[in-house]
Amino acid sequence: MHTNDLGRNEAWSQSLAVGSEAFVLGTQERLGVRGKNRNIDGNDDFFVLREPEESYGDDFTPKN
């Protein structure tokens, strides 16, 4: 992943691993149980290992 853009890149800042498919799969495997439900996205340039997107639901009411 080569870029001259010095701004924030979502792939790097919101992923557990970024790189080749082999690297990302290896990272997922090394995470063991914690890696099983992680999402892998990618293309020919690079792959990313991400947290699954979760919904918090509609109830944000504070509980005391």
What is the per-residue pLDDT for 52?
Answer: 77
What is the per-residue pLDDT for 21?
Answer: 92
Residue 47: both structure tokens together: 């792959």
**pLDDT tens, per residue, the chain with 64 residues:** 555 656 667 777 778 899 999 999 999 999 999 888 888 988 888 899 988 776 555 666 666 6
What is the per-residue pLDDT for 22?
Answer: 93
What is the per-residue pLDDT for 54?
Answer: 65
Dihedral sign from CA coordinates of 1, 31, 37, 57: negative
